[in-house]
Chain A
Amino acid sequence: MSDSGSIFSLALGLVLSGDAELWSIIALSLRVSLTAVALACLIGLPLGAFLAVVKFPGRDAVVALLNAFMGLPPVVVGLFVYLALSRSGPLGVLGLLYTPTAMIIAQTILVTPLIAALARQSMADLHVEYDELFRSLGLSMSRTIAALIWDGRYSLSTAALAGFGRAIAEVGAVIIVGGNIEHVTRVMTTAIALETSKGDLALAMALGLILITLALFVNSAVLTLNRTARRLAYA
């Protein structure tokens, strides 16, 4: 086995040389996770705003469940999606198992509670501030929710970025429902697991470097968004 220094050099070489296999894995990872986060936002943002605005019996229980689901283990989500999509499962007829679509479904389920819970908290704070004005104006529930989502867009962007961070970094769900098939469902995290077990540490390290860079990018974006929002008094 090479020493750490040479592995790092090889990894950097792979990244800089534009290695086709490496970049196809990165492209699929981004496609799957970005699509999953977009879908999770479509579901999670209105859901979070609804829970922040509308009082109904059992709302606290739903919120507690949502908060608990923020920490859903990816392998468990993967298992449920696998059972649903497997040939004998209720959605087996769709033939989606071991496709990027299955991975998108799994990550959407994984990330939606996180985005909805973060959105609910930030929408609840905003709603306290806007409540009397909106009731004075006689705003409908749909307009209230739309206004909260628009005015909370900066904090909601950070919720979406947190969701992306969770999706791009998880391995448990995508490896179960995607199967880590080369050029079909292999993404960064599953490739790292495979290449490490095979002993090809340079490729694994190259992918690891990309993941770390993405994590840094996400955190910087969150920080920048928050600062910009505060500076413009939109936070």
Chain B
Amino acid sequence: MLKRSDAPVSDDISAQPLFPLAATDLVFADRGRTLIDNLSLTLDGRGITAVMGSNGAGKSLLLRLLHGLLTPTSGAIRWGGNPLSDEVRARQAMVFQRPTMLRRSAADNLRFVLNHLPRNERDRRVEELIAEAKLDHAAATPARLLSGGEQQRLAIARARATEPEVLFLDEPTASLDPASVHAIEEVVRTIHADGIKVIIVTHDIGQAKRLADDVVFINRGRVAEQAAAAAFFERPATDAAQAYLEGRLQF
């Protein structure tokens, strides 16, 4: 179930655009339960996309399927017409709800993903990323001793160090205090301004309003609604989305 896709790789895939992303008739079932149910979705490479929906709707699963951490039971995922492959995934990065911190210093967590660079360049890049993440005071601190917000900023910096074209964020601000949420949203805006497509799962309606250009609303493993953010929040087209925004929808 957790195996990487064995799909064939197109020639010279690294030069081809990743978008549009097209997921067609995706199904993901686990232990007899269909968790993603004939989901189809098309995304372009612009803006910040918020994936919303109630608990258990399948948002995080969808991110893992799109990034190739899970293999769909059936259906197809195409990035710029190409199937998911190691080459495609090398152009993406993902930050998880609970950031995985290596048992090393904050700076060494960044060095870990930059080991292909010459030493001088690597050290310079680590300094830049540490500064951007506002972690100058904590570069030598063991990463697991950082606060929740600092850990998440470090995780985002580490993802950014891989120079992705797409960044998946799976509820990056869940259980963080308002100041940490604000700091992370600033980082997300900077990343987006640098031309990186951001796909963020969030439960925070305020955050989605602040960040998102468009919203994909998932309900019971399907895309119930996909719309520009302003339109979605003003006039949700489905009863489920309306109920979700009013805090009435339960899975």
Chain A residues proximal to chain B, CB less than 8 Å: 129-130, 132-133, 135-138, 147, 151-152, 232-235
Residues A232 and B4 in contact, CB atoms below 8 Å apart: no
Q: On chain B, which size bracket covers the interface?
A: 20 to 34
Give the number of A-B contacts (CB < 8 Å).
40
In the complex formed, the residue of A with least CB distance to B102 is A151
Residues of B85-135 at the interface with A, using a CB-CB cut-off of 8 Å, are: 86, 89-90, 92-94, 96, 100, 102-104, 112-113
**Can you show 29 pairs from A to B with CB atoms below 8 A apart?**
A129-B100, A130-B100, A132-B64, A132-B69, A132-B94, A132-B96, A132-B100, A133-B96, A135-B69, A136-B67, A136-B69, A136-B89, A136-B92, A136-B93, A136-B94, A137-B113, A138-B86, A138-B90, A147-B102, A151-B102, A151-B104, A152-B103, A232-B145, A233-B144, A233-B145, A234-B103, A234-B142, A234-B144, A235-B103
Residues A130 and B102 in contact, CB atoms below 8 Å apart: yes
CB neighbours of A129 from chain B (8 A): 100
Q: Which 10 A-B pairs have the closest CB atoms?
A: A233-B144, A133-B100, A151-B103, A234-B103, A136-B94, A233-B142, A233-B145, A232-B142, A138-B90, A138-B86
**Cβ of B162 < 8 Å from any Cβ of A?**
yes
Chain B residues proximal to chain A, CB less than 8 Å: 4, 64, 67, 69, 86, 89-90, 92-94, 96, 100, 102-104, 112-113, 142-145, 162
CB neighbours of A234 from chain B (8 A): 103, 142, 144
In the complex formed, the residue of B with least CB distance to A154 is B103
User: Binding site of B, secondary structure by majority: helix, strand, loop or mixed?
Assistant: mixed
CB neighbours of A233 from chain B (8 A): 103, 142-145
CB neighbours of B112 from chain A (8 A): 147
Residues A138 and B89 in contact, CB atoms below 8 Å apart: yes
- Knowing that A132-B64, A136-B93, A138-B89 are A-B contacts, what are 4 other residue pairs whose CB atoms are under 8 Å apart, sorted by A's residue number? A132-B96, A135-B69, A151-B103, A233-B144
A151, B4: Cα distance in complex, Å: 25
In the complex formed, the residue of B with least CB distance to A137 is B113
CB neighbours of B144 from chain A (8 A): 233-234
A174, B67: Cα distance in complex, Å: 55
A137, B69: Cα distance in complex, Å: 10
A176, B77: Cα distance in complex, Å: 64
A129, B103: Cα distance in complex, Å: 11
Q: What is the CB-to-nearest-CB distance from A228 to chain B, in angstroms, rounded to a whole number?
A: 12
Q: Which of B4, B93, B103, B104 contacts A135 (CB 8 A)?
A: B4
Q: What is the CB-to-nearest-CB distance from A140 to chain B, in angstroms, rounded to a whole number?
A: 10
A234, B104: Cα distance in complex, Å: 7
